[in-house]
Amino acid sequence: MSLLTILEFPDPRLRTTAKAVDDINDGIRSLVDDMLETMYHAQGIGLAATQVNVHQRVIVMDLSEAGDQPMVLINPQIEVLGDETCPHQEGCLSVPGFYETVQRPEHIRVTALDRDGNAFELLPDGLLAVCIQHEIDHLDGKLFVDYLSPVKRQRIRTKLEKLSRHAD
């Protein structure tokens, strides 16, 4: 396993739409393992392949306190159930250091494949529902900052660009 580089906003590669995984093989399983290692190392709870510059529909997550309940969603699809939305504070490994409130659908249905290609369905709520929606957004080239006002989004962009320049 190896650590992958996490792209940071405003990197244009984060806007790439991921393609469906055609074959769950050792290469995909290796990607999943590397993504989990990268997510745990970065102290995140979710990571989409797009964030590590791999444009395939793969997500890893672990919402457990101990970091011992990894979840894998390959080719996830989401269906919104109902009109209710709820606000949640979100952060992102690709937008480090920033947390903002985002409104998202409260009830969703998710279908996906696991690490071995087995189909499953979830009816998540709370943080799990938010995390899945956030990560699927990444696969579609969207970031949580896109839900913010243009002024807030630009302020975050400017601060991250400035930090990036000082890091070089």
Q: Which residues are catalytic?
A: 135
Tell the residue number behind the tokens 């937008």, with chain if given.
95
The distance of Cα 96 from the centroid of its chain, to the nearest Å, equals: 13
Q: DSSP string of 53-98?
A: T--BSEEEE---SSS---EEEEEEEEEE-SS-EEEEEEEETTEEEE
Angle value at C-alpha 6, between 38 and 166, nearest 5 degrees: 125
Note the residue count of the chain: 168
Residue 138 annotated as binding? yes
Are 40 and 67 in contact by the 8 Å Cβ rule? The answer is yes
Residues linked to residue 47 through DSSP beta bridges, in sequence order: 60
DSSP at 168 = -
Which amino acids are annotated as binding site, given as ranges?
Answer: 92, 134, 138
